[in-house]
Amino acid sequence: MEWTPEPHELADLELLLSGAFAPLTGFLGHDDLHAVHERGRLADGTPWPAPVTLHLPAEVSPGDEVTLLDPEGLPLATLTVTAREADGLVSGPVKGLGAPEHGPFARLRRTPAQVRQELGGRAALAVTMRGPLDDLSEIVATAKDLDALILLLPLAYGEGGPAVVRAALRAKEQLPPGTLVVSVPLAPRAEPELDLELRERVATAYGAVEHFPGPEPVTIPGPPHRRGLVVFFTGLSGSGKSTIARGLRDELLELGGRALTYLDGDVVRHLLSKGLTFSKADRDLNIRRIGFVAAEVARHGGLAICAPIAPYAATRAEVRAMVEAVGADFLLVHVATPLEECERRDRKGLYAKARAGLIPEFTGISDPYEEPDDAELVIDTTHLSVEAAVSRVLETLRSGGWVR
């Protein structure tokens, strides 16, 4: 089978393949993980600080060979599954199928073996970076004491990765000649001590005689009116969500001041998701596509308004995670107009057709609608005008600082 791992799993895979996680040659299984958690060592006693894991679908069994793909669908490696746990955790060795091409600054990614060859036996002071370096003088002094070259290792993972690499390139301009910059996709660990130990292991793999950990970046989010925002309406067909969403769009266009994108569920169905059915799998894919576009809009500071039915809680949560992963805000508006009222309005006759069995898998009739319990705003339009409903959403945006 083929499988695209999660971003942090892909980052670990790249470091396994490059040798930056030496002596590891694959993902850890139950015994190794237990030993790492308990003693900071692998089951055979080899020191190792942190878990390196992969989860795969239920149909995978020991002995299977899985092709691991990058986000663009290119094969990166094969995994020979040696064990699988009930929660989907798998272990086994990996074998590279080609150099990784995904992610930013690919030209700055080199293997530890390549870097050690470039060092030619010279000592190196490795500086691991998750943000800009505050003071270069200490690094210069330490390198001078060690008679070492400076090796900047920007840990380019996630949305902030490109900024870290740019910070390393700016620092290089102020450091002694011969300073090297090598981009390393090391995903951060939740526990600072483990993260630091793993950074030291990677620095050693790259040939460092000394490791200098750069300071953790202090992230101060910009004001809400400058951050990206996705206003995501969900509700039954006929609940009024599209009408409110269009009204909000018009109000925001009149106010000005924000780059605005409107993604209506029906319009998206005709364009972005043309050809999809109304099965659960295709509905989920439709919502993911909407979420992806909205997150891209928000990534660059824009405001996206979405108005699909989005009946499933898990898929809505995926969209929220997509948006928040790019540093933007997510506002879920549940248009909670009851089914009876939606059916009474039924201008398109959809509910009548669904009742007659002419439309299979129709939300609210033959397919469930999972009401959100995490909505930032709930509106019932049964006795509320469109203008009043739009005003409630707009007031929420103003009170949250997203609109001024």
pLDDT band at 100 (very low <50, low <70, confident <90, very high): confident
Express each pLDDT in 20-77 by its tens digit: 999 999 999 999 999 999 999 999 999 999 999 999 987 889 999 999 999 888 999 9
Q: What is the mean pLDDT of the chain?
A: 92
**Higher per-residue pLDDT: 32 or 105:** 32
Q: What is the per-residue pLDDT for 189?
A: 92
Express each pLDDT in 115-151 by its tens digit: 999 999 999 999 999 999 988 999 999 999 999 999 9
Average pLDDT, stretch 297-321?
A: 94
Average pLDDT, stretch 358-383?
A: 93
**pLDDT for 269 beyond 90:** no
Q: Provide DSSP, 40-69.
A: SB-TTS-B--S---EE--TT--TT-EEEEE
Q: Give the pair of three-digit tokens for residue 119.
A: 């060092």
For residue 188, cis peptide bond before it (omega within 30 degrees of 0): no
Q: Provide DSSP, 233-282.
A: EE--TTSSHHHHHHHHHHHHHHH-SS-EEEEEHHHHHHTTTTT--SSHHH
Predicted TM-score (pTM) of this structure: 0.70
Contact indicator for 41, 48 with CB cutoff of 8 Å? yes
Q: What is the per-residue pLDDT for 267?
A: 74
Average pLDDT, stretch 315-321?
A: 95
pLDDT band at 10 (very low <50, low <70, confident <90, very high): very high
**pLDDT for 220 beyond 70:** no
User: What whole-number distance in Å separates Cα of residue 21 and Cα of residue 331?
Assistant: 40
Contact indicator for 119, 200 with CB cutoff of 8 Å? no
Average pLDDT, stretch 103-122?
A: 90
Q: Provide DSSP, 329-360.
A: EEEEEEE---HHHHHHH-TT-HHHHHHTTSSS
